[in-house]
Structure formats: structure tokens, C-alpha cells
Structure 1
Amino acid sequence: MRDMLVVGGGYVGLSAAVAVKQSAPHLQVEVIEAAPEHVWQKDERASAIIAAASRMLEVLGVWGEILPEAQPINRMIVTDSRTSDPVRPVFLTFDGEVDEGRPFAHMVPNVAMVRALRGACEQLGIPIRHGLSATGFQTRSTRNEVTLSDGGTIDTRLLVACDGVRSRLRDMAGIKTVSWNYGQSGIVTTVEHERPHEGVAEEHFLPSGPFAILPLTGNRSSLVWTERTAEAEQLVASDDLVFEEELQRRFGHKLGQITVAGSRKAFPLGLTLARAFVAPRFVLAGDAAHGIHPISGQGLNLGFKDVAALAETVVEADRLGLDIGALDVLERYQSWRRFDTFRMGVTTDVLNRLFSNDMTPVRIARDIGLGIVERLPRLKSYFISEAAGITGEDGPRLLAGSAI
């Protein structure tokens, strides 16, 4: 019998296992992952990690290992223009630290993050079983009986689904979603450039969608390039010369000549919000609970917030002698996370619809709005705090940098 079985060995699943096991070493925690063991080492992507999430990773004992490969984002620039515009005026800038020596976000290679979390699992004695998926489960009074793809079964008091936005476990649990497709895809790749970026991130709002330039260590940047799906597929399939020419038109010449330094992939973009995050002995976390547009860079960070809330819910219930899989216990996690997730989903949806729009009256209105925010320091500070996940004293302790 396991106390907690995590399905999904990505960042959210691994950090959930580490957070619970670290604070409650006597609990039996296990992770199963459908992918083969070494697939994660081939991930060329990088992710924005907000200050609250880096605080949590610091408490989990992995941030020190990640930090040498992390690039601080010292400043954020927002422009609104067309691809053909010769000049892209800056409407909004964010800079500054949320704590001394801690910027509001870092860019972290996904490989570095997974490596550190897997190392923490090994140190804590958390088994990670590869090549296995959950093909079904039956909820009993005191446990979930999980059927595995190899024909075996695992009994667990709490089943945590971290199996992605198309979660099979969510469907098995009968949890419905609110979802729609934006007709856009996000092209993700890495580029090298002649001049240093100085830790500056840029978000160019173009008619087809946002084009984000996110700094990596060295003279490199990670791109999240939103295009309508048909155009994105054509760009990904095009030869290097055509792709780099289209890329340079959007990237600009501020950092000199650019070259593509990694593979390029396109991911369909949409909004998916689970109608419930919990069921008896069952929890959704990460993309299984919510998939949002990358316009705000908050997708992974929402998952880390889930981890902080779930770990505190489980550990405190265990300390009080309560059943960690009981629905009334899990409702605390749901109440903590569902509103925040819904709010972020609506925010990214509105921003994408507002800025992926070339109508002149809409452009004028949004540019006036950006200009107003730029001229109000208190409002800018509020937005920076929100983006960094610094939301007050009522949030999970891990996000504030405190142990559970």
C-alpha cells in the first residue's frame, strides 16, 4: 500500500513527490512515468520560473543545483506593433527585484530542473518507475486500486494525476473540463545572437499573437513564437533559410545576427480548465488541472503553486491523524487552487484575444492602457508581485520560502 502515488514524472509530479516526502518521511510515495527512462534528457526547452516557485525549489533543496544554469530576468519589455513596422515603440517595462538578490523570474533549462528533482527523489528514497501508465483505477473506502499498463496493480491512499493536459486519469475520474482551441500554435526554439541580452526579456505583441524573447545563459535566447496554426506548421516544416528570415523579421536586429541553435517544434494552444480538482482519493495537479495560453509565462508556475498547496494539505492532514485521501481533506487543496487557476485562465484568454487583434480602435485602446500602467509605479509594482507569485501571507508556506 502506497500513501501517495504520483502519475507523471515531469516537473510537477516530481516536485509534488519531493515536497510531501521531505516533510513527512514516513509516508510511502512513488512516481510512475509512461516515458522511457532517459527521454527527459532530450528536452531542449527552457521555462520561466517565478520568484515564488524558486523559493519553493530552494526549500526542497534543489534550487542550488539549478541556479548555475539559470538566467535571471532583470527586465521585461512589452511592445505592440505589426511585423512590418520599422520601429517598435516600448509601451511598458518591468524591472527590479522582488527580494534582495532575487529577480521576479529566472529562465531555467528543463533538463536542469528535472535532473535536480530526480536527484532529490533518489536521496529521499522515492521510487520512479518508467514505462508504466495507469490504465484504470477503482476507488475503495480506504484506497484507490490502480491498474498499470504492465498488468500489475498498486494500492494507494491518494492518487495524484500529473499526466498532462490530455489527462486520461482525469477522464477516468469523470471530471469534465471547460476547453477551447485558439487556432494558434506556439513555435518553441532556441537561438544564438551576436550581442548580449543583459537579462532582458521582450514580449512583442503582433497581430498573429505574442512573440516572446526570453534570455538564457550566454548569448542565447529561448523563443515562444505564436502564429496561427497553419502558418506555424508551414514555418516549422520550412528550410532553415526561410525559417531564420521570418524569425529575424520578428526578432529584430537589436542583438545582431541570429541563428537557430536548437530544434523547432510547434504546440497547439488552447484553454483547458478542469471543473473540479479533486475526487475521493484523487487529485489533479499541473496541466492535468489547467492548460493556459503561454502569453503570461505562468503555465508551469501554476503547477508549482498546485504542488505547494497539495503538499501542505497532505502533510498537515497527516500530522493531525486525518486520512490524506478523504474528500473533505482534499477540498482544502481545491479551494486554495481553483479560483487562482480560473482567474489566470480568464486573464490569459482575455489578453490573447485583446492583443492578437489588428483592429485600429482595439490597438489604440490597449496601447493607452499599457501607457497608463507604465506611468503608475504602484500599479506596476502590483503587477510585478502578481507575476512573481508574491501574493501575501495566506498562500502556501513553500511559496513564501518556508518549510511546511
Structure 2
Amino acid sequence: MNKKFGLTIIALVVTMSAGFTNVYADPASDRAKIQQVQTQRNDLENKIGMMDHQIETIMSKISINENTITKTQKDIKENQINIAKAEDNIKEEQILFDKRMRVMYMNGSSGYIDVILGSTDIADLISRFEDIKTIIKFDQNVINDLKTKQTAINLKKVELATENTTLLSLRDDNKKKLATLTKQKSDQTVLVAQLNAEEKQYGAQLVTDEAIAARQVAEARQAVIAAEHATAVRQATAANQATIAASQVAAANQAPPTNQVEQGSTAFSSNSVLAYASTFLGVPYVWGGTSPSGFDCSGFTQYVFAHFGVNLPRVSEDQQNVGTLVSRDNLQPGDLVFFGTPAHHVGIYVGNGNMINAPHTGAVIRIQTLNNDFTYGRRVN
């Protein structure tokens, strides 16, 4: 037994030193790097999904703000027209007042006292006095009306100007927030692209290293078989040599077991919802998209379930209130899976910890593992 072990070690050393002195294959390290890259990418894609949701909210606020600005500016224009009319009325009233004063002056009267002193008798005096009271009251009403209209006009001007300034400031704030989020999302998208490139690089290296390792093992096995066979030939009889040779040939020709992971395609295609959803694989993500020309996450789930007569709300945070709550352990293919509270992302569960979804801007509809911030599922069919 020790001799056989010694021959095995010698054969391995000879093979490794002869054929692979300058090559070091480390598939385990490659897999670890790929796993690390995938984790980082999933985190970034999750952040991008949340940013898409925030951008959608800000875009909605901007739309409401723009409508309010339009209405306020329309009110300002109408108020300007009303101001012009009021100013014209004020001018007309002022002209009437000035004419009356001018007539009194031209008739030789310097004021209301002269009018009273010019009376011929008591009846005329009383009559003139009552007329003057009426004129004075009218003058006072004209003056008060002018002041009231001027005050109202000034207040309305200030009110509308303040409201317009506030709305314009809000517009600037929302646009700055949108620009900041768009820049951040763009940066995250660049990082995702870099991680995708790294994953491809590590994947290619893994294929190379696995091929090298497989070749090393095969050559080492052949070396061991050859060494054992040479020893057996020298020590055994012809009959034993035949038996050993047959055993060695059988061992050499026996393929090592392979670990294949079933993808569950039969179960996948048997589910009508998933079968229909899978026809959109590769369709690009489009913010606000609700058709096969481009989907966002909730637009995709809404479109798929609508095909089967299930009317889902438009956005993910409303869709998460539909159907029956399902925990991660009880998920079944076809369940909706949500991320965040309120939900900022939604997909359709396909089994084995995977979902089909429209991930984020720059991506396409695809099947991927559930993100780290998975919250819960909802069963709607």
C-alpha cells in the first residue's frame, strides 16, 4: 500500500513538473471571484431599481408642479387684465371728480361754503346743505372705493407673485434632485457594466483553469496507471497481469460523475403564466414602459397577468396589496415577488430562488436570483 502511494505521488510530481511548471490553475478562486462580482452587481442593480422608483416619484411631482405653474401664470394674466380694468375705472371716477371740482371753480365757487352762503332763503339753504351732504358722501365713497380697489389689487399682485416664486423654486429643486439621481444612476450603471465585464473575464479564466485542472488530473491518472501497470507486470503472473490490465482499462475508461443542475424547464413551461412571461425575455427595460416594445418592472407584471384576465394596479407599491401574502419558503412559480416596503421592484417567481423580471434601465427582461432585499410574495392566480 505504501509502495503504491509512493508511486502515485511520484507520478503526480513528475506530471505536474513536466507539463505545468509555469501554469497554476485555481478554479475555486475563480468561482469565489465570480460570486463576489455577482453579489456586488446584485447590490448595484437593487440600488438602480430604487433610483428608478425615486425618479418616477420626482417626475410625477414635476408634472404636478408644472400644471400648477401653468394655472398660476394663467391666473396672473387674468389678474393683470382685471387690474387694467380696475385702473381704467379708477381713472374714470377720478375724471368725474375732477370735472365737478373744475365746474365749481369756473362758476366762481371756491368750495362748499360758498355754495351754502349763496342760498337765497332758508329753504334754499336747507336744500343746498342736503345737496352738499350728498356730494360729500359721494366724494368720500369714491375715495374709499379707490383705496379699497388699490389695496385689493396690490394684495393680489403680491399673492400671485409669491405663489409663482414658490412654484418656480420648487421646480428648480425638483430638477436638481432629478439631475442628481440621474447622475447617480448613470454612475451605478457604469459600475454594473464594469462588473459584467469582470464576470465575463473571470468566467473565461474559470473555463481555462478547469480545462487545465482536468488535463492535469487526467495526465496524473494516466501516469499513476502506467506506473502501477509497470509494477504489476513485473510482479504478477500472466493471468494476474491480464486481470489487472482489464481492471485498469475499465477504471481508465470510467467517466467521472458529473454534477448537472436541472433547470426545471418542464415545470417552467407547464406554468402558463411563466410560459407567456418567458416570451418577452430580451425585451429592453423602459422607464414607464407597459408594452412589448419596452417594460418597466410593474408594467411587465401588469401586462403578463392582464393576458390571463388578472388586472393588476400600475405600480409595484400598489401591486403588493393584491392577492394572498406568501413567505419565501412557500413561494411557487407564478407568484409575484416584491422588494422593499413600499415596494420599489416586482418580478415573477420561476422557482429555485429565481425570478423573471425587468431589472433596471440599461438591462433587458431576464431570469435572475432574488435580490438581497426580497420582502415577500403575493399569490394572485
TM beyond 0.5: no
When normalised by structure 2's length, the TM-score is 0.21
Structure having the larger proportion of residues in helix: 2
Larger Rg: 2
Superposition TM-score, scaled by structure 1 size: 0.20
Q: By percentage of residues, which structure has more strand?
A: 1
